[in-house]
Structure 1
Amino acid sequence: MMTKPILMALCVLAAAPAFAQAQGETQRDPAKTEVWKPIPVAVATPRDAAPSDAVVLFDGKDLSAWESEQGGKAPWSVADGAFTVVPGSKGIRTKQRFCDIQLHIEWRSPAETRGFSGQNRGNSGVFLQEIYELQVLDSYDNATYPNGQAASIYKQAIPLVNASRAPGQWQTYDVIWKAPRFSEGGGLASPARITVLHNGVLVQNDTVLSGKTEYIGAPSYSPHGCAPIYLQDHDAKVSFRNVWVREL
């Protein structure tokens, strides 16, 4: 009588040629590994303009997509295709709320640096969902604590390198933001994550955030939904232009 192990082995040996034949057919026929659906949506990418599927948050003309953090019209100045912080006027935020996004934003610190240093030189911030800060600072030949320099996740993550340009020059942040997720009970299901290119250089590589930005104390999470992008008034005349997002 043939034992069960021997019978199974014979079945495997019998199936092997058929499997090898099928595998050989796949290797010989490229169509076997072609996937035709879903078809990616076509997105136009004009030179020096936002992608066709982007939400343009500043078109060089007005701040109609923004409002004051206190409510009402955004109080910052607009001129020459850019908008600039009016010190003492408070921050501004988008009227639209966002979760996962690709963000493009260009910024420029004041050219005049005499008498200013550290955190007092060209300070502002890009806050994702209003509470997670990507630092804006003139960090060109300007010493400060590294987790507070330009392209840091403020008080949490030091940038991989300092890609800052000289004061008065336009700089770019390209950001991939993955919003945190919370359970129905309010617990943290997955933390926020961010990737940042500063002037085309990778400075935050899928960085995991420990919670909302805190000036004093450790960061922590509390449940929230989609929220505006917020730009900070930190008493410096920082300018911004070419701001757009793609919802992911």
Structure 2
Amino acid sequence: MEDLRFDRRIGLRMGLATGVAAALFVAAIAPARADDEAAPPGFVSLFNGKDLAGWKVPEGDNGHWKVVDGAIDYDAMSEAPGDKSLWLDREFVDFELRLDWRIKEAPYINRGIPYILPDGTHAKDVHGRELKLALPDADSGVYLRGSGNHQVNIWCWPIGSGEMYGIRTNPATPPALRAAVTPRHQADRPIGEWNRFEIRVKCNTVTTILNGVLVVPTVAIPDLPPRGRLALQHHGLKRNGEWAGPPSLLQYKNIYIKILNEK
């Protein structure tokens, strides 16, 4: 089982109660298998594998969010004039979410990927300039409680999926919180392979597991909304037939939720 201790380089410590809760949460999770279509005990399905019933397709999307071979499929080309993300119809308070996802391809070369340190800051060279990496990239995420600023990211960055970018990069975020929402491990599988998120949201805390690895131990988010809908994020834009940013060329399936509290 994954070592639940914090990376000593970061210098953060979990309280005993939080550590025990995180350990129990990890222990309850079966090994990640994208082909397991049965809802775990206590969970209900949010996707029927056939259509987008229960989800709000962006108005004017024109078929870019669709179902292909039992998975929600997105080509990052929604024609909706406003928000292009795919939202669930209902709101949630406290829950455990299990979701399988895969990046189909990453045709865009992102030349501005930062070298992220364990404390969530960006590494710099001897002249004080941020180090940048040029790598194939794709970008999406899971919005928690209706907030794009509180999303669990999916992408190709070396830091790995599971971080909370909107919190980590906010200049007002305290250093300890910035480090806490930075993944402890890079647990992503290669592009094209299925991955599994297990995300627990309780009160103002978030715990994120990727492919059985605890990447973001239980962390308190002071401004986490008390309730809201879940969403799968749109990202990407084409100009003159070429991607101008990392697109969300993803598929999702086996989406299950366990309600912990509805009020």
Please give the range of the TM-score, normalised by the shorter of the 2 chains.
0.5 to 0.7
Residue 211 of structure 1 corresponds to 223
| 2: CA distance, partners of 1:171 / 1:205 | 18
Residue 67 of structure 1 corresponds to 56
| 2: CA distance, partners of 1:115 / 1:63 | 31
Residue 154 of structure 2 corresponds to 136
Which of 92, 95, 108 is residue 101 of structure 1 equivalent to?
95
**Deviations 1:143-193 (CA, angstroms, capped at 9, x unpaired):** xxx4xx4110124210111101110110000011114xxxxxxxxxxxx21
| 2: CA distance, partners of 1:70 / 1:55 | 27
Aligned AA (2:94): D
Aligned AA (2:188): S
| 2: CA distance, partners of 1:210 / 1:71 | 36
Residue 228 of structure 1 corresponds to 229
Which portions of structure 1, spanning 4 or more consecutive aligned residues, are displaced by more than 4 angstroms? 69-75
| TM-aligned CA deviation for residue 52 of structure 1 | 4.7
Q: TM-score, normalised by structure 1?
A: 0.62
| TM-aligned CA deviation for residue 53 of structure 1 | 3.4
| 2: CA distance, partners of 1:113 / 1:73 | 23
**Deviations 1:200-248 (CA, angstroms, capped at 9, x unpaired):** 0011111122435xxxxxxxxxxx5521101110022111111010100
**Deviations 1:16-40 (CA, angstroms, capped at 9, x unpaired):** xxxxxxxxxxxxxxxxxxxxxxxxx
Q: TM-score, normalised by structure 2?
A: 0.59
Higher helix share: 1
Which of 176, 180, 185 is residue 161 of structure 1 equivalent to?
185
**Residue 162 of structure 2 is aligned to residue 151 of structure 1:** yes
Aligned AA (2:144): L
Larger Rg: 1
**Residue 217 of structure 2 is aligned to residue 194 of structure 1:** no
**Deviations 1:87-136 (CA, angstroms, capped at 9, x unpaired):** 24210111111010010001101235464564972200101111120001
| 2: CA distance, partners of 1:177 / 1:74 | 31
Aligned AA (1:127): Y
| 2: CA distance, partners of 1:168 / 1:72 | 25
| 1: CA distance, partners of 2:67 / 2:229 | 20
Unaligned runs of 5+ in 1: 1-44, 180-191, 213-223
**Deviations 1:43-62 (CA, angstroms, capped at 9, x unpaired):** xx9x6411353221112111
Unaligned runs of 5+ in 2: 1-29, 31-35, 79-83, 115-135, 169-180, 237-247
Aligned AA (2:55): W
Residue 176 of structure 1 corresponds to 200
| 2: CA distance, partners of 1:153 / 1:244 | 21
**Residue 65 of structure 2 is aligned to residue 79 of structure 1:** no
How many residues align? The count is: 173
| 112 and 87 in structure 1: CA distance in 2 versus 1, 3 angstrom threshold | closer
